[in-house]
Amino acid sequence: MKIKFYGAASEVGRSCIFIESKEAKLLLDCGIKMAEPHEYPLIPDEVLASIDAIIISHAHLDHCGYLAHALSIGYAGPIYSTKPTYELVNILVNDYIKISNPENITKQGIAKLPKQFVLKEYHESFKIKDVEAKLLPAGHVLGSSMIEINANGKKLLYTGDANFRTTKLLDAGYSENLNENILITESTYGGDEDMFPSEKITLADMAASISNTIKNNAKVIIPSFGVGRAQEVVLILDDYMRSGLIPAVPIYMDGMVNKAMRIHRHNVIYCRDELQKRILMNDDDPFKSKNFVHVLSIKERKKVIQDKSPCIIVTTSGMLSGGPVLKYLEQLGHNETNKIIFVGYQAEGTRGRELLDGKRTILIGKKRVNITMKIEKYHLSAHADRQQLLHFISKINNLKYVFIVHGEKFKSEQLKNSISKKLNVIVPSILDEFSV
Ligand SMILES: [Zn+2]
Ligand SMILES: [Zn+2]
């Protein structure tokens, strides 16, 4: 089996892994890097057009944002994913194209996007020439998968983005009885420092902080991926409001968060049993709380901004790389009683990362915006932390090679150092190629 890394090697973003068996050429993920400006995987168009199949792990743009390009330059094969991933990809990719207007995208290419998907259930085997493939639950976001490839007597597992802890929405990533010779693992939080307090403690701290801001009559902004942990946070905040732990104020949702909530609701069979039961057994639909207010127009957004009363605003994009969150920051960012709370990973080169690193002006379009609001971060990531990654890797039988990707280089190296005694471990660089 040949493996080549066209992206996400010693970086987070533009996941795009080429796999070649005796008969088949596959691509695991086809994403872009959300830095400013966006970066694309280094796969030549003629290689991309000649692939037999693309398998998408999940709907985040760093794993699927290059699909419209692939279709525009003539890729005509199937795109395999789960049903929620298919629905979310179509929404998120179209939204990304509308906002960013990337080069080399044709109308015909975009039109092909929904048509070329082939939907698979978790654990269902499917054939691509001499390759047998399978999607396994990854616990990261709705519909997210790890991808198992079985070809020419070798088994390979690609984690995509994975979380091995149960969350409010999702079961933990699958990790039972895995037999794999080759692992390609993410390492977003694989660094030595990436040990975090229990989520219970983190959530309690965050609730107290939000409560304070609300009591000060101010606004809390939570930047969110269209699909990510922030949506779970919304459900958790609603629970807290119902139990009186934090004062009941409107939780405004703006942008992609709204559509994504609907997709979660009708794909609830891909969520945890507990959530399904809550909907099926009584009328208490957690996705339709009266605390949730959907912001559906620019006029409504203006009203939210101008209204003097306290509230929580959950809006895209999660790393401040675009979307309505920038409109809110422009208007609300210079009020020091307001607060922005980050709950997701902030990649290098994004405005979100700049704020966390201490910068207090950000560039929005051509405008410099001073940010004097309070800035806080709570670790509620949808990614496995170091301990979980190590535990997961130790549970896999017959493992020989581990490729560590989707992490800042020093973190990938630190993860490598903790497992390299027993295994052949490689932190690839972009365009590196291996035969295994
Ligand atoms: Zn992801
Ligand atoms: Zn990712």
Ion ligand 2 neighbours (CB, 5 A) are: 62, 161
Amino acid 37: pLDDT: 86
Amino acid 431: pLDDT: 98
Q: Examine residue 114 and say whether the peptide bond preceding it is cis (omega within 30 degrees of 0).
A: no
Distance of CA 230 to the CA centre of its chain: 11
Q: Do residues 364 and 218 both lie within one domain?
A: yes
User: Pick from 352, 377, 402: which residue ends a domain?
Assistant: 377
CA 31 – ligand 2 centroid, Å: 9
User: Over the stretch 340-383, which tens digit does the pLDDT of each residue have?
Assistant: 999 988 988 899 999 999 999 999 989 999 999 999 999 988 99
* Tokens found for residue 355: 């704020």
Q: Do residues 85 and 178 both lie within one domain?
A: yes
CA 353 – ligand 2 centroid, Å: 16
Domain housing 359: 199-377
* Tokens found for residue 18: 């080429």
What is d(CA 98, CA 78) in angstroms, rounded to the nearest whole number?
Answer: 24
CA 159 – ligand 2 centroid, Å: 10
Amino acid 409: pLDDT: 97
Residue 307 pLDDT exceeds 80:
yes
Give the number of whichever ligand sits closest to the CA of residue 189.
2
User: Over the stretch 330-347, which tens digit does the pLDDT of each residue have?
Assistant: 999 999 999 999 998 898
CA 281 – ligand 2 centroid, Å: 35
> What letter does residue 287 receive in the DSSP assignment?
G
CA 408 – ligand 2 centroid, Å: 12
User: Over the stretch 158-188, which tens digit does the pLDDT of each residue have?
Assistant: 999 999 999 989 999 999 999 999 999 999 9
CA 396 – ligand 2 centroid, Å: 22
Query: Residue holding tokens 């700049």?
Result: 354
Amino acid 34: pLDDT: 85
Q: What percent of the chain shows pLDDT beyond 90? A: 83
Q: How confident is the model at residue 194 (pLDDT cuts 50, 70, 90)?
A: very high
Amino acid 228: pLDDT: 79
CA 186 – ligand 2 centroid, Å: 8
User: Over the stretch 38-81, which tens digit does the pLDDT of each residue have?
Assistant: 999 999 999 999 999 999 999 999 999 999 999 999 999 999 99
Q: Do residues 140 and 229 both lie within one domain?
A: no
Q: What percent of the chain shows pLDDT beyond 70? A: 100
Q: Do residues 351 and 215 both lie within one domain?
A: yes
User: Over the stretch 76-131, which tens digit does the pLDDT of each residue have?
Assistant: 999 999 999 999 999 999 989 988 899 889 999 999 999 999 999 999 999 999 99
What is the torsional sign of CA 6, 8, 418, 390? negative
CA 13 – ligand 2 centroid, Å: 6
* Tokens found for residue 136: 């396994």
Residue 284 pLDDT exceeds 80:
no
Rounded to 5 degrees, what angle do the CA atoms 265, 267, 268 make?
65
What is d(CA 390, CA 72) in angstroms, rounded to the nearest whole number?
Answer: 40
CA 284 – ligand 1 centroid, Å: 29
CA 343 – ligand 1 centroid, Å: 14
CA 84 – ligand 1 centroid, Å: 14
CA 101 – ligand 2 centroid, Å: 21
User: Over the stretch 255-269, which tens digit does the pLDDT of each residue have?
Assistant: 888 888 889 988 999
CA 302 – ligand 2 centroid, Å: 32
Amino acid 299: pLDDT: 97
Total domain count, the chain:
2
Counting DSSP H helices and E strands in the chain, the numbers are 14, 22
Q: What is the CATH number of the domain that holds 252?
A: 3.40.50.10890
Query: Residue holding tokens 């809390």?
Result: 220
Rounded to 5 degrees, what angle do the CA atoms 427, 63, 161 make?
60
CA 110 – ligand 2 centroid, Å: 22
Give the number of whichever ligand sits closest to the CA of residue 31.
2
User: Over the stretch 384-411, which tens digit does the pLDDT of each residue have?
Assistant: 999 999 999 999 999 999 999 999 999 9
Q: Do residues 119 and 224 both lie within one domain?
A: no
Q: How many CA atoms lie within 13 A of 372 on its CB side?
A: 6
Give the number of whichever ligand sits closest to the CA of residue 228.
1
User: Pick from 360, 377, 394: which residue ends a domain?
Assistant: 377
CA 140 – ligand 1 centroid, Å: 7
Q: Do residues 78 and 212 both lie within one domain?
A: no
Residue 227 pLDDT exceeds 90:
no
CA 88 – ligand 2 centroid, Å: 15
Chain mean pLDDT for the chain: 95
Amino acid 306: pLDDT: 97
CA 62 – ligand 2 centroid, Å: 5
User: Pick from 377, 411, 427: which residue ends a domain?
Assistant: 377
Q: Do residues 182 and 54 both lie within one domain?
A: yes
Give the number of whichever ligand sits closest to the CA of residue 382.
1
Q: Do residues 368 and 395 both lie within one domain?
A: no
Give all strands (DSSP E) within 71-186, no chain letters.
79-81, 117-119, 126-128, 131-137, 145-151, 154-158, 182-186
Enumerate the β-bridge partners of residue 137.
145
Q: Do residues 24 and 122 both lie within one domain?
A: yes
CA 21 – ligand 2 centroid, Å: 25
> What letter does residue 23 receive in the DSSP assignment?
S
Q: Picking from 203-207, 228-232, 300-304, which range would have the lowest pLDDT averaged per residue?
A: 228-232
Q: Do residues 174 and 87 both lie within one domain?
A: yes
Q: What is the CATH number of the domain that holds 172?
A: 3.60.15.10
Q: Do residues 179 and 277 both lie within one domain?
A: no
Q: Do residues 212 and 359 both lie within one domain?
A: yes
CA 236 – ligand 2 centroid, Å: 23
